[in-house]
Amino acid sequence: MLREVNATRYVTPLRSGGSVPGVFEADDLGTYVVKFTGSAQGRKALVAEVIVGELARALGLRFPELVLVHFDPAVADSEPHQEVRDLHAASAGVNLGMDFLPGARDFTPEVAKTFRVDPLEAGRIVWLDALTANVDRTVHSSNLMIWPTSGTVPARLWLIDHGAALIFHHRWDGADPEKSYDFRHHALGHYAPDVRAADAELAPRVTEELLRTIVAEVPDAWLAHEPGALSPGEVRDAYVAHLHARVRASAAWLPTDFPTREELAAEEARRAAKTRQGRPNWLKQVPDLHGKPAAEQDGAVHLG
């Protein structure tokens, strides 16, 4: 089961995402990125974080430790912004913490140009994302970190942020174990991910027993908001049944068609050109966020 800690000191909010998590120190002397039950994404985002994150760890992928964080809003009473204070007030009780990786860097398109990823490792990550319907690991927002970035230990890829995964649990009546998703813009698509080898290696390991062990780690309170008055146990059964059926149907959803960097760049250029069509001349001259006139941006693509 996930360890439980108490938040003891507020370090800072993180405003890079819509959920506005915060960095906290806890009574185990650890530092955690805490995601709140009162965020706009709701408890299902935390359910997805636990299920996908713990499944990643069980399959040998690098993922920071998760803990259940008992949070008293009074710990963060130094927060000056009212909207963040309101979020804290709505999140008293048990929230989700992810071990903070000090000094970690985002896996950006620029970093991807020089960072080497083994095709099998890329395939394992893509396979996990396809299994769990995680379409939120793209070239534009990878939800991958590189850590450590100093010292003698080699830098490695770490997975983070799976709150947008398991999209089927937002509409159970439409959940299809064979449904495929578009992974052409996956953050690791440039590395020739060997998803077939990953499927042969990982699919036999995702057993019903493993899934039940992982889903059991989700607190009952986070599962008690399904329509139809389902009990937490029934909701857990639904997650296990769907994911286990999905593993057995991998031939239907296994992504294998990944465009090259050049193909993605050309696609992005076509999209940009189409967007510019029909715009008035005055708008074409408006500088972009980098201070260059739009006219100078024709054909420029900033992909890794």
What CA–CA distance (Å, rounded) separates 206 from 248?
10
The answer to whether the beta carbons of residues 35 and 163 sit under 8 Å apart is yes
What is residue 224's predicted lDDT score, i.e. its pLDDT?
84
For residue 304, pLDDT over 60 is answered with: no
pLDDT of 92 over the 70 cut: yes
Contact 271, 199 (CB under 8 A): no
What is the pTM for the complete model shown?
0.88
Please tell me the predicted confidence (pLDDT) of residue 227: 67
Compute the average pLDDT of residues 96-116. Answer: 95
If you average pLDDT over residues 62-70, what whole number do you get? Answer: 98
Amino acid at 195: V
117 burial via Cβ count (<10 Å: 0-12, 13-18, 19+): buried
Cα 196 to Cα 250: distance, rounded to the nearest angstrom: 10
DSSP state of 64: P
Q: Average pLDDT in the 156-177 region?
A: 96
C-alpha span between 97 and 12 (Å, rounded): 14
| pLDDT of the residue at 283 | 53
Average of per-residue pLDDT across 241-250: 98
Q: Where are the domains of the chain?
A: 3-99, 105-253, 261-297
Question: In the prediction, which pLDDT does 269 show?
Answer: 84
Query: Which range is least confidently modeled, 74-88, 198-212, 223-237?
Result: 223-237
Confidence of residue 148 (pLDDT cuts 50, 70, 90): very high
If pLDDT is split at 50, 70 and 90, which confidence band does 278 have?
low
- When pLDDT is cut at 50, 70 and 90, the band that residue 291 belongs to is very low
What are the pLDDT digits (tens) for 6-50?
Answer: 999 999 999 776 789 999 999 999 999 999 999 999 999 999 999
Euclidean distance between CA atoms 288 and 94, whole angstroms:
43
Query: How long, in residues, is the chain?
Result: 304
